[in-house]
C-alpha cells in the first residue's frame, strides 16, 4: 500500500478497535465505525510530535496550497483539554489525534476490521479490550477532502494498531494524563501512614445477621 504510514508511539484513549461502535451523523444517519485517539506531546515543545503533525499539515498544503484553510472539522488533531464542573476547558499540554475506519464503503462494500497485534507482531486476542493509557503505534493512510458543506480537510484512515504496553480496560476511569504533566505540590511517596487512623472501622465486626 503506497500510502501506508505509521505514527510514533504514544498513549491512546477511546480505543474501540476490536469492535465498532455506532456513530451518529445526523438524523437517520448512523454507521458503524472503528476508532482510536493517539496522544502526543505539544509539537511546539517536542520534535517528534512536531515532525509527525507537521507531515500531515504539509500533505494538506501540498494538495491545496499554503494559503488554504481547514474546514470546521478539517484537522484530525486538536489540543487535549479537560473540562471542570463549570464547563471551563483547560489544556493538558497534549495533542489528541483521531483515526477512524468505517465498516463499509459508501457503495456498501464491507471493509475488514483494522489489524491489531502485540509488540511481537502476534494477533491481539479479541476478548482483551485495550484500555486508555495503553501505549500503541498506529498504521494509517491519509484521505484529503474538499466539499461544499465541510470545506477542506484531511482524515486519517485506521489500518492497524500495534500494542506496545497494555492497560486493562476499566469503564469510567480517567486517562492517566488527564491533568497533563506533573505539578508543584505534595508528593505522596514521602508521606508516612498514621497507624491510629489506618482502620476507621476499628477492626472486625460481629457476623450476626441484622434483625430485620
Give the model's pLDDT for residue 23.
Answer: 86
Give the model's pLDDT for residue 179.
Answer: 64
Q: Which of 61, 48, 23, 81 is nearest to 142 (CA)?
A: 61
Give the model's pLDDT for residue 190.
Answer: 79
Instruction: Give a yes or no: residue 153 inside a domain.
Output: yes
Domain that holds residue 40: 5-172
Instruction: Give a yes or no: residue 163 inside a domain.
Output: yes
SS3 letters for 95-125? EEEEEEEECECCCCCECCCCEEEECCCCECC
H helix and E strand count, the chain: 1, 8
Instruction: Give a yes or no: residue 212 inside a domain.
Output: no
Question: Count of domains in the chain?
Answer: 1
Residues 6+ apart with CB under 8 A from 9: 135, 136, 137, 164
Give the model's pLDDT for residue 198.
Answer: 46
Q: Mean pLDDT per segment of 10 residues, for the chain of length 212 residues?
A: 85 95 75 95 94 96 96 94 86 95 91 95 94 95 93 96 92 62 76 55 43 36
Give the model's pLDDT for residue 140.
Answer: 97
Q: What is the pLDDT of residues 17-26, one digit of tens each?
A: 999 999 876 6
Instruction: Give a yes or no: residue 67 inside a domain.
Output: yes
Q: Which residue has the cell 503533525?
A: 53
Q: Which of 160, 126, 122, 127 is nearest to 141 (CA)?
A: 160
Instruction: Give a yes or no: residue 177 inside a domain.
Output: no
Give the model's pLDDT for residue 170.
Answer: 76
Residue 49 parent element (H or E): helix 47-64
Give the model's pLDDT for residue 27.
Answer: 61
Instruction: Give a yes or no: residue 48 inside a domain.
Output: yes
Instruction: Give a yes or no: residue 188 inside a domain.
Output: no
Instruction: Give a yes or no: residue 131 inside a domain.
Output: yes
Amino acid at each position: 500500500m503506497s500510502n501506508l504510514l505509521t505514527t510514533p508511539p504514544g498513549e491512546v484513549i477511546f480505543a474501540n478497535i476490536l469492535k465498532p461502535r455506532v456513530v451518529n451523523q445526523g438524523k437517520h444517519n448512523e454507521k458503524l465505525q472503528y476508532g482510536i485517539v493517539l496522544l502526543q506531546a505539544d509539537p511546539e515543545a517536542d520534535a517528534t510530535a512536531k515532525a509527525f503533525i507537521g507531515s500531515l499539515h504539509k500533505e494538506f498544503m501540498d494538495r491545496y496550497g499554503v494559503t488554504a484553510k481547514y474546514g470546521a472539522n478539517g484537522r484530525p488533531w486538536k489540543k487535549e483539554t479537560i473540562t471542570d464542573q463549570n464547563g471551563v476547558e483547560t489544556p493538558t499540554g497534549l495533542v489528541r489525534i483521531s483515526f477512524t475506519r468505517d465498516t463499509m464503503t459508501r457503495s456498501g462494500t464491507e471493509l475488514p476490521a483494522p489489524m491489531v497485534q502485540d509488540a511481537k507482531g502476534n494477533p491481539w486476542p479479541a476478548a482483551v479490550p485495550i484500555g486508555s493509557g495503553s501505549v500503541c503505534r498506529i498504521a494509517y493512510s491519509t484521505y484529503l477532502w474538499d466539499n461544499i458543506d465541510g470545506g477542506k480537510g484531511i482524515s486519517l484512515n485506521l489500518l492497524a494498531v500495534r500494542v506496545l504496553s497494555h492497560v486493562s480496560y476499566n469503564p469510567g476511569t480517567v486517562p492517566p494524563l488527564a491533568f497533563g504533566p506533573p505539578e508543584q505540590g505534595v508528593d505522596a511517596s514521602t508521606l508516612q501512614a498514621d497507624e491510629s487512623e489506618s482502620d476507621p472501622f476499628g477492626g472486625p465486626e460481629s457476623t450476626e445477621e441484622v434483625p430485620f
